[in-house]
């Protein structure tokens, strides 16, 4: 935390804290992560005056979107936000040993990434692993603590025969023992229901002496109710988004939760009228990005029936469309729980959502389960993503892995330090350690970004001009979210 | 209730009942009341199989919209819905002595209206008065009981220095003493907050031995949380709308509440997948009415700050625009609470919302408060709408009424029977007592409707063809709801 930001306060008995997601998860969920820095900075003085516990503003898919589509330097975004938000904690979402990329990195890269993020202004590191394998969180947590920042250990919430409150509490205890400053429940799919939330929050608060944060997507329209029951059971901080980018696959509206708690022992103390002014700003901003709007932005409770996150359904629909097989969606939705069972019930979040979904599509389209096995499923069954929540299907493992190596150590234990190699590879294109990390996250796209920057040929993807009038509401056949 | 519909069951201890608003308040709130019977009937078999406590499908502004815009006979709609929904209670919203029109009717008209509505298939009459003056409910309640139907006495919820739980409980007791079968809390503006709801519901359940229903608009994004706290405090039935027409100025999504309560002692017992199928249907239907969509369909918490319902702000904006004075909106929003205080704090709902809003606009535009006093304010101060919740401003009353008559009786006590006169006036154009009541509700529009019907020249207003693509989200400058 930079000198000018407040030091974390202990959880008070009653007052509820708010983390606003408007600068990260809200536009990642509703506008394909496309919000540009130029549309964040003008509102920062008002955001900074609110008194949020934190503003989530970096990490997740934003790093990728900056480099790939917006041709913005994500590190420069972070520095600008730090300067524009001197009184507010900045928070990021970090995929544990995957950082913000799509593979496991060696520990020296993880340490370098966390260190540079902290040096550029990050205060709170929300760290998760798709399998809830805490070994994949250890280095990132240690690195965060080493630079004196707030390490938030994250429990990915899911529903399965092997997941229950006791298991999540055990994970919470491990995270506390690893030195985390707080715990987050991450309900990326909107699976939580109010009374399940109540029980889980109470169990965690009874057993883990750390501040508890709840992150529960509004996909199924249950988020507000879940937050209320979490608060009543001791949750300290809730994640919300300014109403202009709330609801649907995003989050509960900040203003609504603040209004709901006003004048009660849980009062957030935030100024509702000041929040409404920020809402008006983002309503205008949202129009600029209309080309990234999903056809469907309403409530969708299907996840409460089939447990398949909305973002997965979108990807599956695209995969099936390419194969002219959209009519097999029903079969795929029935196959997903079977594949998930075979893989030991991983939570469905990046990258496990893709791994399970793609294999389910193959199983359906070939009409022969596991006739083709993806390389990712094979690597998963080898243990290369970490430990599955439950034993995997032994026959499938035998079939996929054969005589090849199985590992049961932490996957990154097999990785040699790679920072020097990456530094050498990218050479003069990197003007800073941050540039090297950009290259490390995205070898091709990151290199291209640095090359274009050097050549002065960075051009953000074009935005379509504003349209007028209202389009029709579409049926819920497609979705547009990443599972974060 | 027709022979084939279930008899009302006593409130059980735990199981929560649902009234779905999809066929009335949902489209009244989001699509300017324009949903046509032809788009209701195809889904009725699925709606009828759900097991709702009731389907609200008639009354409010639908009668007006049928006759004025859709050129449908509202009575024929009712008969068709009755036939298509043999196993579900049909529910309507009735404005007490105003019925579905805009003035007080004589008792013989009220009795005739209720009797004919019952004869055509109506089961549950939700009866309210804008001033919560129970004298204006008496005849409608008695008429409902006289034909053996369910009379639901309604408390219009509002916030003011003279409104509190004790007062609402006193009104609930009066409604029970008048023979009501159940009580409804009607939060037309979305003013309720979860913990206020909890207290109010508990107070009513502790004192009034009748089933309690909650109707709370989602305008400010608090509806789901209010319902949850109502349920925990003994509320028996909640009002929701299928998700395709939920949220914003409409209501909490049915599917979300059903999902939230599944597997708990409050389980509704409704089939979530069957509800989702209905949701898909209405998503398609909604597209047909895109021309009636508001620019803004999201969450708007301003009512939690200024207590002015969203529907009023829309009307005020139109009034100010016509005067080229939209920039005075801030002054009008500050004037409304003062006018409301002068009038003894009426709840803001049809017609009091219009009475207060129009006078506030005049007070601001003339820069001289009450230099001009509307005829409606004068009539209000005379007592011709009933008794105000608190004493009105005596100087204003003196100024407005002067030496003219003040009344303190029930306004309808001054009305002679008028059914015979109405019957004579409309003559052969009425083919039935129902036609006469149509004419009674809307003398000009109703007569024109009957004339066109006789001439075979009924033409519904045209619908714009479907558009493609998504329009921009608009800033919350305008709204499109009636205050029901
Ligand atoms: Co998220
Ligand atoms: Co209503």
Do the beta carbons of residue A237 and residue A205 sit within 8 Å? Answer: no
Q: Give the percent of chain B with pLDDT over 70.
A: 94
Span B218-272, pLDDT tens digits = 999 999 999 999 999 999 999 999 999 999 999 999 999 999 999 999 999 999 9
Instruction: List phi, psi (to 5°) of B90.
Output: -95, 140
Instruction: List phi, psi (to 5°) of A28.
Output: -65, -35
The residue range of the domain holding B286 is 17-292
DSSP character string of A296-333:
--S--TTHHHH---HHHHHHHHHHHHHTT-GGGHHHHH
CA–CA min distance A217, chain B (Å): 13
Span A352-402, pLDDT tens digits = 999 999 999 999 999 999 999 999 999 999 999 999 999 999 999 999 999
Pairing of strands A237-240, B212-216: unpaired
Burial label, B4 (beta-carbon count in 10 A; 0-12, 13-18, 19+): exposed
CATH at A366: 1.10.472.90
Over residues B92-96, mean pLDDT = 97
Same domain flag for B275 and B328: no
CA torsion sign for B444, B446, B450, B453 is: positive
Do the beta carbons of residue B238 and residue B231 sit within 8 Å? Answer: yes
Same domain flag for B82 and B136: yes
Residue B155 placed within a domain: yes
User: Ligand 1: distance of its center to the CA of A217 in Å?
Assistant: 6
Place of tokens 């009674």: B440
Reported confidence tier of residue B14, pLDDT bands at 50, 70, 90: confident
Pairing of strands A124-127, A150-156: parallel
Of A252, A305, A467, the CB nearest to B273: A305
Max Cα-Cα span within chain B: 65
Alpha-carbon distance of A436 to A134, in angstroms, equals: 27
Buried b (16+ CB within 10 A) or exposed e, B254-279: bbbbbbbbbebebebebebeebbebb
Same domain flag for B24 and B126: yes
Place of tokens 């005849």: B139
Pairing of strands B150-156, B182-187: parallel
Same domain flag for A46 and A190: yes
Alpha-carbon distance of A320 to A253, in angstroms, equals: 34
Same domain flag for A137 and A272: yes
ipTM value for the complex: 0.93
Alpha-carbon distance of A301 to A382, in angstroms, equals: 35
Q: Does A242 touch chain B (CB under 8 A)?
A: no
Reported confidence tier of residue B484, pLDDT bands at 50, 70, 90: low
CA angle B284, B285, B288 (to 5 degrees): 105
DSSP character string of B189-254:
TS---HHHHHHHHHHHHHH--S-EEEEE--TTS-HHHHHHHHHHTT--EEEEB-GGG-STTS--BH
Q: Residue A384 carries which DSSP code?
A: B
What is the 3 state secondary structure string of B31-63?
Answer: CCCCCCHHHHHHHHHHHHHHCCCEEEEEECCHH
Same domain flag for A193 and A326: no
Alpha-carbon distance of A376 to B468, in angstroms, equals: 39
Q: Cα-Cα-Cα-Cα dihedral of B64, B65, B69, B70, to 10°?
A: -120
Q: Does B469 touch chain A (CB under 8 A)?
A: yes
Q: List, as own/partner pairs, every contact residues A36-44 make where C-beta atoms lie below 8 angstroms and the sequence separation is at least 24, other chains included.
A: A36/A70, A36/A72, A36/A460, A37/A72, A37/A76, A37/A77, A37/A80, A37/A81, A39/A285, A39/A288, A40/A77, A40/A81, A40/A84, A41/A80, A41/A81, A41/A84, A42/A281, A43/A278, A43/A281, A43/A282, A44/A81, A44/A84, A44/A85
Q: Does A299 touch chain B (CB under 8 A)?
A: yes
Burial label, B72 (beta-carbon count in 10 A; 0-12, 13-18, 19+): buried
Do the beta carbons of residue B302 and residue B336 sit within 8 Å? Answer: no
Residue A366 placed within a domain: yes
Q: How many C-beta atoms surround the C-beta of residue A408 within 10 A?
A: 8
Alpha-carbon distance of B424 to A359, in angstroms, equals: 75
User: Ligand 1: distance of its center to the CA of B168 in Å?
Assistant: 41
pLDDT at residue B314, as a whole number:
77
Say if residue A443 is preceded by a cis peptide, omega within 30 of 0: no
Same domain flag for B41 and B138: yes
Q: Does B286 touch chain A (CB under 8 A)?
A: yes
Interface test with B, best of A194, A196, A333 (most B CBs within 10 A): A194
Span B307-355, pLDDT tens digits = 988 778 878 888 899 999 999 999 999 999 999 999 999 999 988 999 9
pLDDT of B34 strictly over 70: yes
**Where do the DSSP E strands lie in A188-268?**
212-216, 237-240
Same domain flag for B196 and B331: no
pLDDT of B1 strictly over 70: no
Q: Residue A266 carries which DSSP code?
A: T
pLDDT of B469 strictly over 80: no
CA torsion sign for A13, A15, A16, A20 is: negative
CA–CA min distance A197, chain B (Å): 10
User: Ligand 2: distance of its center to the CA of B107 in Å?
Assistant: 25
Same domain flag for B134 and B275: yes
pLDDT at residue A233, as a whole number:
98
On chain A, the residues whose CB falls within 8 A of the CB of B273 are: 305
CA–CA min distance B281, chain A (Å): 8
Say if residue A351 is preceded by a cis peptide, omega within 30 of 0: yes
Of B279, B301, B468, the CB nearest to A259: B301
For residue A260, what are its two tokens? Answer: 């709901």
CA angle A313, A317, A323 (to 5 degrees): 145
Ranges under pLDDT 50 in chain A: 1-12, 469-482
Residue B474 placed within a domain: no
Segment 391-420 of chain B within 8 Å of chain A by CB: none
The residue length of chain B stands at 484
pLDDT of B12 strictly over 80: no
What residues contact residue B484 under an 8 Å CB cut-off, 6+ apart?
B25, B28, B60, B61, B93, B188, B349, B350
On chain B, the residues whose CB falls within 8 A of the CB of A475 are: 280, 283-284
On chain B, the residues whose CB falls within 8 A of the CB of A293 are: 470, 473
**Where do the DSSP E strands lie in B326-469?**
none
CA–CA min distance A330, chain B (Å): 13
Same domain flag for B89 and B203: yes
Do the beta carbons of residue B106 and residue B415 sit within 8 Å? Answer: yes
A247–B469 CB contact, under 8 Å: no
CATH at B216: 3.20.20.70
Same domain flag for B393 and B437: no
CA–CA min distance A290, chain B (Å): 6
Alpha-carbon distance of A314 to A316, in angstroms, equals: 5
Do the beta carbons of residue A417 and residue A423 sit within 8 Å? Answer: no
CA–CA min distance B232, chain A (Å): 11
In chain B, the number of structural domains is 3
For residue B64, what are its two tokens? Answer: 């007006």
**Where do the DSSP E strands lie in A8-84?**
17-20, 54-59
pLDDT at residue A484, as a whole number:
53
For residue A21, the ligand closest to its alpha carbon is 1
What residues contact residue A253 under an 8 Å CB cut-off, 6+ apart?
A224, A240, A241, A242, A243, A246, A247, B221, B299, B301
Q: List, as own/partner pairs, every contact residues A396-399 make where C-beta atoms lie below 8 angstroms and the sequence separation is at least 24, other chains included.
A: A396/A342, A396/A370, A399/A370, A399/A373
Residue A469 placed within a domain: no
Residue A103 placed within a domain: yes
pLDDT at residue B309, as a whole number:
85
For residue B214, the ligand closest to its alpha carbon is 2
Same domain flag for B254 and B212: yes
Of B252, B259, B475, the CB nearest to A220: B259
Residue A8 placed within a domain: no
pLDDT at residue A352, as a whole number:
94
For residue A439, what are its two tokens? Answer: 């290259």
Residue B398 placed within a domain: yes
Residue B482 placed within a domain: no
Q: List, as own/partner pairs, every contact residues B264-273 make where C-beta atoms lie below 8 angstroms and the sequence separation is at least 24, other chains included.
A: B264/A195, B265/B14, B266/B14, B266/B15, B266/B16, B266/B231, B267/B15, B267/B16, B268/B15, B268/B16, B268/B17, B268/B18, B269/B15, B269/B51, B270/B18, B270/B50, B270/B51, B270/B52, B271/B50, B272/A301, B272/A304, B272/A305, B273/A305
B473–A283 CB contact, under 8 Å: yes
Alpha-carbon distance of B481 to B357, in angstroms, equals: 15
Q: Does B115 touch chain A (CB under 8 A)?
A: no
Instruction: List phi, psi (to 5°) of B268.
Output: -75, -20
Span B405-464, pLDDT tens digits = 999 999 999 999 999 999 999 999 999 999 999 999 999 999 999 999 999 999 999 999
For residue B175, what are its two tokens? Answer: 């409604």
Of A224, A304, A468, the CB nearest to B221: A224
CA–CA min distance A264, chain B (Å): 8
Q: Residue A416 carries which DSSP code?
A: P
A301–B471 CB contact, under 8 Å: no
Alpha-carbon distance of A7 to A2, in angstroms, equals: 9
Task: Work out the mean pLDDT of chain B and round it to a whole number.
Answer: 93
pLDDT of B49 strictly over 70: yes
For residue B127, what are its two tokens? Answer: 């009866």
On chain A, the residues whose CB falls within 8 A of the CB of B30 are: none
Span B60-82, pLDDT tens digits = 999 999 999 999 999 999 999 99
On chain B, the residues whose CB falls within 8 A of the CB of A276 are: 301-302, 305
Reported confidence tier of residue B482, pLDDT bands at 50, 70, 90: very low
Which residues partner with B126 through β-bridges? B93, B152
On chain A, the residues whose CB falls within 8 A of the CB of B224 are: 221-222, 224-225
B299–A228 CB contact, under 8 Å: no
Interface test with A, best of B26, B43, B221, B334 (most A CBs within 10 A): B221
Span B186-205, pLDDT tens digits = 999 999 999 999 999 999 99
Q: Does B15 touch chain A (CB under 8 A)?
A: no
A193–B259 CB contact, under 8 Å: yes
pLDDT at residue B467, as a whole number:
67
């Amino acid at each position: 935390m930079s000198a000018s930001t407040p030091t974390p306060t202990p959880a008070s008995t009653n007052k509820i804290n708010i983390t606003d997601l408007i600068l990260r998860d809200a536009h990642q969920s509703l506008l394909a992560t496309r919000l540009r820095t130029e549309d964040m900075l003008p509102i920062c003085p008002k955001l900074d005056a609110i008194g949020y516990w934190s503003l989530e503003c970096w990490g997740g898919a934003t790093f990728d979107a900056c480099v790939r589509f917006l041709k913005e330097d994500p590190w420069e975004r972070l520095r600008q936000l730090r300067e524009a938000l001197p009184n507010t904690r900045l928070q990021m979402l970090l995929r544990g040993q995957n950082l913000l990329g799509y593979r496991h990195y060696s520990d020296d890269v993880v340490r370098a990434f966390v260190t540079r993020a902290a040096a550029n202004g990050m205060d709170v590191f929300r760290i998760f692993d798709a399998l809830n394998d805490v070994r994949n969180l250890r280095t990132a947590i240690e690195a965060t603590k080493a630079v004196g920042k707030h390490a938030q250990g994250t429990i990915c919430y899911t529903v399965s025969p092997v997941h229950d409150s006791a298991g999540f509490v055990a994970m919470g205890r491990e995270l506390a023992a690893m030195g985390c400053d707080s715990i987050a429940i991450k309900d990326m799919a909107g699976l939580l229901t109010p009374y399940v939330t109540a029980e889980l929050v109470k169990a965690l608060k009874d057993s883990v002496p750390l501040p508890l944060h709840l992150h529960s997507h509004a996909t199924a329209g249950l988020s507000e109710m879940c937050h209320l029951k979490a608060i009543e059971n001791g949750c300290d901080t809730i994640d919300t988004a300014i109403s202009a980018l709330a609801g649907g696959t995003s989050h509960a509206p900040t203003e609504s939760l603040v209004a709901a708690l006003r004048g009660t022992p849980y009062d957030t103390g935030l100024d509702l009228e000041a929040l409404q002014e920020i809402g008006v700003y983002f309503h205008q901003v949202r129009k600029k990005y209309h080309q990234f709007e999903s056809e469907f932005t309403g409530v969708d409770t299907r996840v409460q029936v089939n447990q398949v996150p909305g973002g997965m359904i979108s990807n599956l629909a695209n995969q099936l469309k390419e194969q002219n097989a959209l009519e097999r969606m029903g079969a795929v939705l029935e196959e997903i729980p079977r594949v998930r069972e075979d893989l030991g019930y991983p939570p469905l979040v990046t990258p496990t959502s893709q791994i399970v979904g793609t294999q389910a599509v193959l199983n359906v389209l070939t009409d022969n389960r596991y006739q083709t096995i993806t390389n990712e499923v094979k690597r998963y069954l080898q243990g290369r993503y970490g430990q599955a929540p439950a034993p995997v299907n032994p026959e499938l493992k035998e079939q996929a892995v054969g005589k090849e190596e199985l590992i049961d150590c932490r996957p990154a234990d097999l990785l040699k330090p790679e920072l020097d190699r990456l530094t050498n590879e990218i050479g003069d294109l990197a003007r800073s350690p941050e540039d090297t990390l950009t290259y490390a996250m995205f070898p091709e796209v990151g290199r291209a970004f640095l090359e274009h920057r050097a050549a002065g040929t960075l051009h953000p993807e074009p935005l379509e001009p504003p349209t007028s009038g209202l389009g029709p509401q579409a049926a819920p056949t497609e979705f547009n979210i990443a599972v974060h």
